[in-house]
Chain A
């Protein structure tokens, strides 16, 4: 068996030198006459350890990081391909406390698989949700999503299943699924990470949505600041089309569904769903008056499901394991998990997926590891809980009041120190 070496292609890892590390590893393999496969995976979301290189050993995957190109010869000298000791040795990634404490449902594969290998995706449970959906009536799919308690992760927190039901019940010859990938707010990068690290889970989620409501066409509206995500998504869509996951007969069924990526052009307001639809239509992005709801008259006036990336990417696990499985995570009206994004002046910046109900203190002190500069944290106004999007969602200053349990409503979190 040829050895496998994982070097992320996630843009966060690239920003910290992953490309040069991959090049250095390839060169060293050549020099030493070693045969090995370099897999470009997504990121596990432990950004203080990126570029984090992993190798597959008989005892499982082990990680080293953060790796600089100049570390590469010494890694080979330490026999890292067999998990040898080295100052950068991190052990099994899933045993690193930051990862071990997470509940990875939506991000289950992110950083583990080759993001553009459909084989890898299926070997790690991918497409099971879609296959289950294909064995159900559309209304049953919608009911599963409703029962899961999934609420929109884009800010407003509207129950996803109810939105889908409205589109299912609206008769039209053409309907659309639109994915809101505008992720405009500072401190948020979960959408980017999943699109770069596990694009098939979004594609699968959109296909399930299409089958559930009777839509045959999907668009991902992607912000132009994410060229790497665009590249990965387009590779994955092409692979899905080639394998018959997308196209005139989804996995051999009577359902047709295809999709494409459309890139924005730098307008923050286009994250708002009706402005986004205008932009997709080729207009200036203007917030439309409601009603009509996009579910009744959306893209090109047709019934449209518009959901955030994480909302759609959470659907496959619900359809795979069932509504109850997902609903059993979380608390109160907030069911399932939420990707918490930790950035700024913290030691451990990254992505932390957890069931709803963590306290802000836990996130900042335990998980974030305190401040990067070692300065004591000033409580008042230094970190913020984000419940949504700029003008749309309230953004409350942190502080003692915010240290209790997260209330039921908030949806996406970006924590900054």
Chain B
């Protein structure tokens, strides 16, 4: 869901206020905005720049550096699949392929019906329960075909 400009200003301002007088406020502000909206709306950048006395280019440079920050709204669900080595050694590739097929999306994409965004992550610290994933912040371990289908049912529900 895209947000209207005024809605963004009213939601972003308290986040900026919460942090602007703390040390190193930029990442906490961006994290707060991403938590609120699911992405970092472009319209928020000038507000941050003004508040922190930075140029817009500086703020943009930081936003674009960090992988977490999305430029566009994600789907209703966000599925992060671990693509790192320990998970791969336990069949992570197969599960990844299966989920991409079942969901009809590739990594980095959002399904056409807006149900889900699929993202790659590199280790969730669940290596002893590999392969692993995170669905809307909930952790899932020992992914297999059955659990993959459960995930698909959940995001389609």
Contact = CB atoms under 8 A, between A and B. Distances in A.
Given A15-B141, A262-B27, A265-B30, A225 B65 contact: no
Interface string B124-143: 11111110101001111110
Contacts of B27: 262-265, 279-280, 282
Given A14-B139, A226-B125, A343-B130, A186 B90 contact: no
A189 B66 contact: no
Interface residues of B, number: 40
A410 interface: no
Interface residues of A, number: 49
B84 A12 contact: no
B87 interface: yes
B24 A262 contact: yes
A66 to B, nearest CB: 10
Contacts of B137: 227
Contacts of B125: 11-12, 183, 188-189, 191-193, 225-226
Contact of B122 (A186, A228, A263): A186
A11 B24 contact: no
Interface string A14-25: 111000000000
B68 A265 contact: yes
A134 interface: no
Contacts of B129: 12, 15-16, 47, 50, 349
A28 interface: no
A18 B89 CA distance: 24
Contacts of A262: 24, 27-28
A205 interface: no
Interface string B56-93: 00000110011111000000000000001111011000
A343 B85 CA distance: 10
A265 B69 contact: yes
B148 interface: no
A414 interface: yes
B26 A282 contact: yes
Given A279-B27, A280-B24, A417-B89, A265 B126 contact: no
A349 B24 contact: no
Contact of A284 (B52, B65, B87, B123): B65
Nearest to B139: A15
B30 to A, nearest CB: 7
Contacts of B114: none
A106 B65 CA distance: 35
B121 interface: yes
A153 interface: no
B89 A281 contact: no
Contacts of B90: 344-345
Interface string B84-126: 1111011000000000000000000000000000000111111
A285 interface: yes
A266 interface: yes
A184 interface: yes
A267 interface: yes
B123 A184 contact: yes
A14 B66 CA distance: 27
Interface string A28-69: 000000000000000000011010000000000000000000
B25 interface: yes
Contacts of A191: 125
A343 B23 contact: no
B31 interface: yes
A325 interface: no
Contacts of B141: 12, 15-16
B46 to A, nearest CB: 17
B127 A186 contact: yes
16 contacts: A12-B129, A15-B140, A15-B141, A183-B123, A186-B87, A187-B123, A191-B125, A225-B121, A225-B134, A226-B125, A279-B27, A283-B62, A284-B66, A345-B90, A349-B129, A414-B127
Interface of A: 11-12, 14-16, 47-48, 50, 183-189, 191-193, 224-228, 262-268, 279-285, 300, 341-345, 349-351, 414, 416-417
Given A15-B142, A50-B129, A266-B67, 18 more contacts: A12-B141, A15-B139, A183-B125, A189-B128, A225-B121, A225-B134, A226-B125, A228-B139, A267-B67, A268-B122, A281-B24, A284-B61, A284-B65, A341-B128, A344-B130, A345-B89, A345-B90, A416-B127
